Amino acid sequence: MQFGFPLRPIALAAVAAIGTVVVGAAHSQATSTKVPGKYLAGDFHNHSTCSDGAVSMQKKVKKSMDRTADTPWGLDWFVQAGHGGTGNRNCTLPEDPAFATPAYPFTGQGPQTTWENSSPAVVPKGNASGTSPNRNMWRWQAIQEFQYPQLEYLAVLRNQPIFAGVESVVAGHEHTSMAVTTGQLPAAAFSKPLPTTPGYTATGNANALAMWQYCFDRGNSDTSRGNLVTGGVNTGTGNNWDCSVPGGLNSTVPFWSDPARKLVPTGGTQGEQGHLKTVEGVKWMAAFHPDSSYYVPAHLERAGPFNPAGNNGFNVEHLRNFNNAGPRVAFGFESQPGHGASDRRGEYNLRRNSFAGVRYDSVGGTTFGGTGVYAAQIGGVWDALLGEGRNWWFFASSDWHSRGAFSVDDRRSDNDFWPGEYQRNYTMVRQGSSPRVSPQMIVDGLRSGNNWVDSGQLIDRLAFVACASYNGVGKRANAAVEAIAVAAAVNNTDTNVAGCATMGEKLQVRAGGEVVVSIVVRDPAGKSFSPYSFPNPSLLQVGINQPLDKPELHHVDVIRGLVTGYRKPGASDYAGAWPDDWVDMANPQQLRSLATVPAAAKNTSAAVIQSFSKASWTTVPGKPEFKAMTFRLSAVQASQYLRLRGTNLPPAVPFETDASGNPLSDLWTNTGSIGFKDSTKSGTEFPENAMLRIPCTTTGGSNVPDNSAVFTTGGIDACPNHLPVVNGQRMVGFDVAAWSDLWFYSNPIFIEVAGSTVVAGVR
């Protein structure tokens, strides 16, 4: 079923090692009666004026969830999750009457108004941060007293699942998307009448999330225990939080502050101490809110490798530590970051980070097809974790802040996409007969791993099914399994068939049996949410004329890796940093070898085992948008997993894909300047636009607005004016680069073979 993708020697070796593998008895969850559900699109990492975003919560919710001509991308669920720490703007104030509601009317003051300058003035609690009249408010207070009540009101007003999370500023590391949803959106909130005059009293609360924010966020240096502090004196009035963790470090370590009742890392080992504090935060969630919490490191390659003396990136061992501490809480990562339209896609960059005067790249240097190297590199960190049999899932987010140089209402961007506009998490949410989707249902869906990620509306339906098959009465035909997958994709749901499994599940099979795998996707007809109708410049390089707003799925890869069991802390293959200088600037059309990657961060058995394109998939009769792909694994002997990726790009697209179809570094569409690697030098080694390689050649369009005009519709039919010009030629960068280069990723199906390695992290 290969269609011209030559397997690298390492891939051939991996396939030979796996041999002809398969699986036996049905996964226990697949044999049970599942609550019916649908795949719902959502976003859990974005910003408003509560932190450093450009718009109020009202506008954020409306622009992210409405389905109108201006915002056709409306999401099904939404988590408002600004940075932890502090903020000084009153984000409950709408921009103008268009975003006002009876409970939160427009008062003439907008969301740039500070808390103390609001009318009436709002008094920040806790230890003083900043100076009046622009004092900061700690995020714990903002969540508890202002953000949550407004989000509950908007959820009830719109009858949609909208709740509060945080992008935590992580002790010892950089950022994590997280939430504790205990108390949020109780059913009773939807049964009481909404106010018709200003003011809203919430039925539920986000007290648990606010407490976590005080206790474990690095940005929260407040020591007040969540109380009112007057004249520098803690009044003892308020929350009186105690951040002790059952069986945790607590006062056994010197960086425990008894007055603050929390850990306060200090000194030259802040990274090491901070990581210990962060693990304690996961343990706290697992101890007190195990079902209602999630902890998902965000854009985790961006800040470089782990820095024991500071607060930077995440190595593979830190992810293992989180998952060990709370497998029901820390169950994945955002290795596909937001900021997809910025001058450095994902805000990943060479020489981005300085540790004690030494400059380090973002891990991997850049993104690869918009995805970080931990997941984009076959056989890399994600495959290493899956190869242990861990429940470690892949997610994406918008990380919305602003449109950069453009108005937030413009359809063009040189910074961010609105939540749902470009990247979407499609999560299996099991609503059953409940009248509405609750936060708990969404957290359960994320935790299950039954989630897939799409960029640029490449596909909008996916069914991924594996079923056990045996000779005799247990024989399953390819057509029978494909019919299961077709029904699931058409109905936007999953499978509930004994002896079959889908994403986030494991299929248990007898040694020597077969597994039938079926994949069905919908490549939607019509236009995407892209504002550009001119031909994709990347595809024009290889003679394909395809409008940017009408992308087509080119191929789907099936990636397989062996499961060999958990790695133990302290073992030689447990910890290790990804090598720096990963991007090969001398050979931009090639990817580096895994040979220099430490054993802890790789799984060399991972390889592409099947690739499907229009030459090998079939169109579902009567439903031309649906493509079906089915194959068999025979005589399976070893436990393993299967995962998917797909793209609009064929192999060997210059500066986009290598000869095997893997995504190349996005450095070649990044417009930003790059400093010197040598920390003794200052200035710029590679100036702005120096790395650009793909020309945008479509000129003379009839609908190409000026950069100064606010453009709110679609159909820009030639290279836009904000693209950089190099030697008289417009070059691909910013949002055009993102809309040109689309990928989807599925989470894995595990196959546990009797007598082989147990897939311990998955039910």
Three-class SS state of 685: strand
The CA distance from 153 to 206, in Å, is 13
- Residue, of 5 and 606, whose pLDDT is higher: 606
Q: Do strands 393-396 and 332-336 pair parallel, antiparallel, or not at all (unpaired)?
A: parallel
Count other Cβ atoms within 10 Å, centred on residue 746: 28
Please check whether residue 124 lies inside any domain of the structure.
yes
pTM over 0.85, yes/no: yes
**For residues 411 and 390, what is the distance between their CA atoms, to the nearest angstrom?**
40
Whether 440 is in a domain gets the answer: no
What whole-number distance in Å separates Cα of residue 42 and Cα of residue 73?
Answer: 10
Residue 105's Cβ-count burial label (10 Å; 0-12, 13-18, 19+) is middle
DSSP string computed for 183-214: TSS-GGGGTSPPPSSS----SS--HHHHHHHH
Provide the percentage of residues in the chain whose pLDDT is more than 70. Answer: 96
Q: With respect to residue 531, please indicate whether it lies within any of the assigned structural domains.
A: no
pLDDT the model gives residue 33? 79
Give residue-wise pLDDT tens across range 182-208.
Answer: 999 999 999 999 999 999 999 999 999
Reduce the secondary structure of 393-419 to three states and give it as a string.
EEEECCCECCCCCCCCCCCCCCCCCCC
| pLDDT band per the 50, 70, 90 thresholds, residue 740 | very high
What strand order describes the sheet that includes 461-469?
500-501, 461-469, 514-522, 623-633, 618-620
What is d(CA 213, CA 514) in angstroms, rounded to the nearest whole number? 49
Residue 744: strand pairing partners: 454, 646
For residue 14, which of 688, 594, 531, 662 has the smallest C-alpha distance?
Answer: 594
What lies within 8 Å, CB to CB, of 122 at 6+ separation is 90, 115, 116, 137, 146
Phi, psi torsion values for 596, nearest 5 degrees: -90, -5
Range of the domain at 194: 42-263
Q: Is 44 helix (H, G, I), strand (E, B) or coil?
A: coil
Q: What is the pLDDT of residues 439-467, one digit of tens each?
A: 999 999 999 999 999 999 999 999 999 99
The predicted-structure confidence for 278-336, as pLDDT tens digits, reads as follows: 999 999 999 999 999 999 999 999 999 999 999 999 999 999 999 999 999 999 999 99
Confidence of residue 32 (pLDDT cuts 50, 70, 90): low
* Burial annotation 232-265 (CB, 10 A radius, 16+ → b, else e): eebeeebbebebbbeebbbeeeebbeeebbbbeb
- Cα–Cα distance measured from residue 483 to residue 492, given in angstroms and rounded to the nearest whole number: 14
H or E, element range at 158: helix 148-158
- The pLDDT value recorded for residue 405 is 98
The answer to the question of residue 120 being in a domain is yes
Q: CB of 692 within 8 A of CB of 731?
A: yes
- Please report whether residue 258 resides in a domain: yes
Q: CB atoms < 10 A from the CB of 755, how many?
A: 11
Pairing label, strands 77-80, 38-43 = parallel
Look up residue 687 and give its two tokens: 């100036």
pLDDT of 18 > 60? The answer is no
Residue 647's pLDDT band (boundaries 50, 70, 90)? very high
Q: By three-state DSSP, how is residue 674 classified?
A: strand
Tell me if residue 573 falls in helix, strand or coil: coil
- DSSP, residue by residue, 359-376: EEPSTTSS-BTTB-HHHH
Of 144-148, 150-154, 321-325, 711-715, which range is least confident? 711-715
pLDDT digits (tens, 9 = 90+) for 377-391: 999 999 999 999 999
Assess contact for 361 and 350: CB atoms under 8 A.
yes
Residues 236-251 have a mean pLDDT of 97
Q: Which residues contact 458 (CB under 8 A, 6 or more apart)?
A: 523, 551, 553, 646, 647, 648, 742, 743, 744
What pLDDT does 763 receive?
87
Closest CA to 354 of 309, 316, 318, 399: 309
pLDDT value for 71: 93
Taking each helix axis from N to C end, the angle separating 148-158 and 57-65, rounded to the nearest 10 degrees, works out to 30
Convert the pLDDT of each residue in 579-619 to its tens digit. Answer: 999 999 999 999 999 999 999 999 999 999 999 999 999 99
What is the Cα–Cα distance from 503 to 749, expressed in whole angstroms?
A: 5
> What single-letter amino acid sits at 88?
N
Tokens in use for 394?
């892949």
The predicted pLDDT at position 82 comes to 92
User: How high is the pLDDT of residue 137?
Assistant: 97
> Taking a C-beta distance cutoff of 8 angstroms, is the pair 577, 598 a contact?
yes
Question: 258-292 pLDDT, tens per residue?
Answer: 999 999 999 999 999 999 999 999 999 999 999 99
Stated length of the chain = 763
Torsion from C-alpha of 749, 752, 753, 757, nearest 10 degrees? 130
Per-residue pLDDT at 31 exceeds 60: no
33 CB-side CA count, 13 A: 1
Peptide bond into 36 cis (omega under 30): no
Taking the CA of residue 165 as centre, how many other CA atoms within 13 Å lie in the half-sphere pointing to its CB?
Answer: 29
Residues 6+ apart with CB under 8 A from 240: 225, 226, 227
Pick from 530, 526, 533: which is nearest to 411 by CA?
A: 530
Long-range contacts of 435-439, Cβ-Cβ distance < 8 Å, separation of 24 or more: 435/190, 436/159, 436/161, 436/190, 437/40, 437/76, 437/77, 437/160, 437/161, 438/161, 438/185, 438/187, 439/161, 439/163, 439/179, 439/181, 439/184, 439/185, 439/292
Which of 11-15, 40-44, 196-200, 238-242 bottoms out in mean pLDDT, i.e. has the lowest? 11-15
Query: Quick one: residue 164, left, alpha or beta (phi over 0 = left, psi -120 to 50 = alpha)?
Result: beta
Contacts of 622 (CB under 8 A, 6+ apart): none
Pairing of strands 684-686, 674-675: antiparallel
Q: How many structural domains comprise the chain?
A: 1
Element (H, E) at 241: none
Tens-place pLDDT, residues 207-224: 999 999 999 999 999 999
Reduced DSSP (H G I as helix, E B as strand, rest coil) percent helix, strand, coil of the chain, to 5: 20, 25, 55
Helices (runs of H) and strands (runs of E) counted in the chain: 14, 33
Q: Answer whether residue 199 is part of any domain.
A: yes
